[in-house]
Amino acid sequence: MTTQDLTLDWDGFKAVFKPEPEPDMVFADDPVALAWAAYRVYLANPANRWADFADLEVTEQDRVQAQEIRSYYTGRILMDTMKSKNPMSEFRKKLYGLLIGETGLKKKDIGLLYRLPYFYVEDTALDQVIAQTQAPKSALAQATIAGTFNIIRRVQVSRRSMEFVQFWLQHHKKTEPFMIAVKADNPLLPLLESILQHGLPISATAHFKIHRGYHRNRGFYQLSNVELAS
């Protein structure tokens, strides 16, 4: 044995003292249905966010919704895998395994399960935006735009780091989609929503963006510096 053998660089040390693998979590019911039940409870009572799965009662509608989520994401992941030359990300592997019931979930990954309904609502809302609009005809990096906008979808975007609200909009004279993103705790959020709901004219700076993920072949315009038009 040498001094180097006694350091953490020695592979033998790592093998001898390898930590025990973390066991998979055990759920009393279908974990995806439980996740939707927690989301349903939150919609009814926003103060009750991230309800303990042990306290939830899964309804038949929760099970139906869980099956829709499974079908939606397994189909999408398989389609992306066939189209892409890149290997599947660890996140997608974990999600796919959970959806088909072949991979358990560790305690540290419980956030993925809790946020799965939010991802589903966000992704299906974006599908509707794509279906109701057309791809931008130009890709100007930045331009000023004014007019009235109709709300296509209001979407809550839930991430571990931050919560946002996205307003997906269509200009009264244009066919491409526009989007305003606002932090969920912004005190001016209700005012902006009221302005958009009443169809008041606004002016803003439009920034061309490309969708990430499934709709990565489509572009949109994100609005900033939003103010009432004179």
Same domain, 96 and 168: no
Mean pLDDT of 55-81: 92
Angstrom distance (rounded) from CA 3 to CA 151: 68
Q: How far lies 137's CA from each of 146, 150, 192, 221, in Å? A: 18, 20, 27, 11
Name the domain boundary from 65, 97, 124.
124
Half-sphere exposure of 101 (CA within 13 A, CB side): 9
CATH of the domain at 186: 2.40.50.110
DSSP 8-state class, residue 53: G
- Residue 186 falls within a domain, yes or no? yes
- Residue 190 falls within a domain, yes or no? yes
Same domain, 151 and 223: yes
Q: What is the pTM of this model?
A: 0.83
Mean pLDDT of 186-193: 95
- Residue 80 falls within a domain, yes or no? yes
- Residue 157 falls within a domain, yes or no? yes
Same domain, 66 and 139: no
124-172 per-position pLDDT tens digit:
999 999 999 999 887 777 889 999 999 999 999 988 888 999 999 999 9
| pLDDT reported for residue 4 | 39
Are 227 and 202 within 8 A, CB to CB?
yes
- Residue 4 falls within a domain, yes or no? no
Q: How far lies 149's CA from each of 109, 146, 177, 222, 227, in Å? A: 39, 9, 10, 13, 13
Residue-number span of the structural domain to which 150 is assigned: 133-228
Q: Estimate the crossing angle of helix 110-132 against helix 60-83, to 10 degrees.
A: 70
Q: Map residue 203 onto helix, strand or coil.
A: strand
